[in-house]
Amino acid sequence: MARTCLAVVLAAGDATRMKSSKSKVLHEIGNWPIISHVAQAASRAGVGKLALVVGRDADEVIDAASAGQQIPVHPVEQKERKGTGHAVLMARDIIAEGYDDVVVLYGDAPLIDPESLIAATQKRAEGADVVVLGFRAADPSGYGRLIERDGQLVAIREHKECSAYELAIDFCNGGIITFSGAEAVSLLEAIGNDNAKGEYYLTDIVEIARARGLKCVAIEAPEADMMGCNTRAELAEIEAEWQARARHRAMLSGVTMIDPQSVFLSHDTELARDVLIEPQVWFGPGVTVGEGAVIQGFSHLEGASVGAGASIGPFARLRPGAELAQKAKVGNFCEIKKARIGAGAKVNHLTYIGDAEIGANANIGAGTVTCNYDGQNKHLTQIGAGAFIGSNSSLVAPVSIGAGAYVGSGSVVTMDVPDDGLAIARARQDTKPGRAKRLREKIAAIKAARQ
């Protein structure tokens, strides 16, 4: 964007209707705070600075808006709630620094498309002084209407103030307004509060601008882009829309999802082409999946890296720090935490691998546990390339199993095993002929006596 642009993001509202102990803009969509999505959209649209109007949970809101953004975020506090016009005016000093465009965004509307913001600034560049984003509503009841005449916007009319003619209009106010930076402070200061609530409404800026001979226009964007979050039900609706968009983008990039609606993605999920995702898979933050990997059903991944051609699940859990090299396999009912699984290594069944390094082509038998915690500290288990760990073994860390080594099934290994060594750490079997029959007879007699 060649023009200089300031975004004023309104994020001072309470969470009264959310019935929440935290600001509504801190609730998450795609495992990321709502306000972070808004700030990211502004950044992608080419905004040069972000003025963040804060109130409740100010420090947390500022941190969330700043996280991962390339543009400076300047917070301003709104101590009193006197309407949207009053809220924007809290950023008066920043607006007065001088920008071609000032765009007002809402901190609880995370679905706004950067392209819509760019379209608004283009309209400004073409000569419009005020640009309002609107949408066509299938049911416009309750929405403010955008009143147009001869191709220009003449007013934003609240639903309850509309005439019968105006109520038939389906072009509704989306709330997002872009206006001339040179006129911004003067327009905002002219907004009055002569209304039932005694509040300063940003929507009045259109009629104020028109009275000054300034040009106002409205442009259309999808209704979903304007969705704001005031209740938990609306939060769920926005999540569903965001997930649908994220899944669609992933599939267009070459990812196969057998049942897309059952797959949950995070804002930073990275899926390479030819990845196959089966039903009921959950991706938490910080997951990357390499080309051609398969994520089988009912698996849960968070903070994990999956190499090309690897296979996960079904019913597998990868926790933060799990790193799988190419063609590694983690099978059903396995959990991996802070562990590196080498190329071609197999962790197939009912196994916990935590704080560990597993060499290439090693085989970890069913029921194996790396005993990494002593009640105070975590310890490392190292398993060399090509090693074979028999089923139902417990590896008590810190311990090292050498390359090519074998551990007998049912072993409790407490000492290092050298390369190509064989470790058997279990009691010798003692078989008593006929003892089982006598034992059953004794148990039956006890039961009979009780009856």
**Mean pLDDT (the chain, rounded):** 95
Q: State how far the Cα of 337 lies from the Cα of 347, in Å rounded to an integer.
A: 13
Q: State how far the Cα of 102 lies from the Cα of 6, in Å rounded to an integer.
A: 5
Instruction: Please identify every residue annotated as catalytic.
Output: 349
Looking at 3.40.50.300, 3.30.465.10, 2.160.10.10, 2.60.40.10, the CATH number of the domain 246-423 comes to: 2.160.10.10
CATH class of 5-226: alpha beta
Percent of the chain with pLDDT over 70: 100
**Domain range list for the chain:** 5-226, 246-423
Of 311, 305, 252, residue with least CA distance to 276: 311
Q: State how far the Cα of 330 lies from the Cα of 109, in Å rounded to an integer.
A: 39
What pLDDT score was predicted for residue 14? 81
Q: Read off the pLDDT band of 142 (50, 70, 90).
A: confident
Average pLDDT over residues 271-276: 98
Q: Read off the pLDDT band of 415 (50, 70, 90).
A: very high
Check: CB of residue 175 under 8 Å from CB of residue 109: yes
In the predicted structure, residue 176 carries a pLDDT above the cut 80: yes
Percent of the chain with pLDDT over 90: 91
Least confident interval from 35-39, 73-77, 79-83, 264-268:
79-83
In the predicted structure, residue 332 carries a pLDDT above the cut 90: yes
Burial state string for 381-409 with b = 16 or more CB within 10 A and e = fewer than 16: bbbbbbbbbbbbbbbbbbbbbbbbbbbbe
- Most distant CA pair in the chain, distance: 106
Q: State how far the Cα of 326 lies from the Cα of 348, in Å rounded to an integer.
A: 16
Strand partners, 155: 147
Give the predicted TM-score (pTM) of the model.
0.92
Average pLDDT over residues 245-266: 98
Residue 137, Cβ neighbours under 10 Å: how many?
17
What pLDDT score was predicted for residue 92? 96
Average pLDDT over residues 100-129: 96
Check: CB of residue 337 under 8 Å from CB of residue 354: yes
Tokens read off for 449: 């006596």
Of 410, 366, 308, 344, residue with least CA distance to 353: 366
